[in-house]
Structure 1
């Protein structure tokens, strides 16, 4: 999921070009539609994978929080994880509303504040992992990359 999300965040050009044409009243070319479709299909894949991931989270649970973390940081981690889950759904759904239903407001939200919030969470997530790895010296990075507790 991370790679798909980063792909769409780093390479939105096809969709941006399509959106400029569409929302200015011009008919996008077939090449523009094809490029936009790649972005859309990656986003839909993220939505499907997020649904599976959320189901697995409810069925299997989550690993225990590291005891080395202060209680406040554990609460921040829980909030940020649920914010990620919310964005895993909100981002693709707003993109679907923009691309398939022509919602200009959804397009603005998708490419503006929602995208910015996703980047903020990604940076905070990376910072949190680095603190775990080098300050608290937990095995969090290993758990994230291999799934081993």
Structure 2
């Protein structure tokens, strides 16, 4: 971790954040191919090549998210992160830490459970992935975005700026 305090995320950290956000939203919003494949396989039918390809897109994006998450954590350990802001009350700083921890946990848990379900055929992992973790991830994302907006428009801090344009 860098010895000097930093006031913004590095360009690679910001790029990874936004690339992962796009990929995560894509996989959260466009699950039809994977859902269709799952229903066909569960009924004992054989999916078509198009259905398998559609499910594979979801799976490959999930694997990409997992790989990018590993890179992102390594970058965070190597480059550090800006200090927490002092504009917000302690309870909100705690909430921010919990939401960030949850997001990091879920950017690993979602792909791992998806891989376990799709490639290893572990049905309980698929149920956990699609029914429980997906809902909690949406809640964490909403809390994360709401927190960033509160910082921008209520506390008027630089929190949003340090993850968009930098300083």
Pairwise TM-score range, normalised by the shorter structure = over 0.9
Secondary structure at the aligned position of 1:40 is classed as: helix
Cα-to-partner distance string for 1:6-64 (whole Å, 9 max, x where unaligned): 00001010000001111222111111100000000000000000000011111111101
Q: Which has the higher contact order (CA 8 A, sep 6+)?
A: 2
Cα-to-partner distance string for 1:100-126 (whole Å, 9 max, x where unaligned): 011111111111110001100111111
Number of matched pairs: 148
- Over aligned residue pairs, what C-alpha RMSD do you find? 0.9
Alpha-carbon separation, structure 2, partners of 1:37 and 1:76: 36
| Regions of 4+ moved over 2 Å | none
Secondary structure at the aligned position of 1:57 is classed as: helix
Residue equivalent to 2:85: 66
Residue equivalent to 1:124: 143
TM-score normalised to the size of structure 2? Answer: 0.86
Alpha-carbon separation, structure 2, partners of 1:132 and 1:117: 23
Residue equivalent to 1:136: 155
Residue equivalent to 2:45: 26
Q: 5+ residue gaps in structure 1?
A: none
Contact 1:23–1:104 (CA under 8 A) maintained in structure 2: no
